[in-house]
Amino acid sequence: MSPARRCSRTACGRAATATLTYVYSDQTAVLGPLALYAEPHAYDLCDQHSERLSAPRGWEVLRLAPDPSAQGPSSDDLLALADAVREAARPVAPPPTIHPADDPAKGVRRGHLRVLTTE
């Protein structure tokens, strides 16, 4: 439950726990767990307003129960997080050392250009 997402009902400041969407073609109101993202055509509702929800006459209310196994991080989420931490903790290889080419056997250095002798 995100503290930034509040109930869509007027003058209600409680935290949202469910999302309401309408399927107009089927005349169905679908009330399910809080959506991951706030959608412009969906309504976030608190516990109190989601329990008292009623639909227009002739419409069906479909209440989707939250999946208890989907609550909280899954084992895949935890493994991905552990892999990311391991990757970030790996030591960075030191950059290769660059030796100046002042050795006459390897070439003559003139400014930013280098002339190499072939032998």
How does pLDDT run across 65-94, given as a tens digit for each residue? 866 666 666 677 788 888 888 888 888 777
Q: State residue 1's pLDDT score.
A: 44
Report the C-alpha gap between 108 and 19 in whole angstroms: 73
Look up the pTM and report it: 0.54
What is the domain partition of the chain in residue ranges? Answer: 1-92
Q: State residue 68's pLDDT score.
A: 62
Q: State residue 90's pLDDT score.
A: 83
> What are the backbone angles phi and psi of residue 6, rounded to the nearest 5°?
-110, 165
Report the C-alpha gap between 16 and 47 in whole angstroms: 7
Mean pLDDT throughout 11-16? 92
Sole residue written with tokens 């949202």: 16
Report the C-alpha gap between 22 and 37 in whole angstroms: 16
* pLDDT above 50 (res 2): no
Q: State residue 19's pLDDT score.
A: 94
How does pLDDT run across 48-71, given as a tens digit for each residue? 999 999 888 999 999 988 666 666
Q: State residue 8's pLDDT score.
A: 92
* Contact in structure between 110 and 116 (CB atoms under 8 Å): no
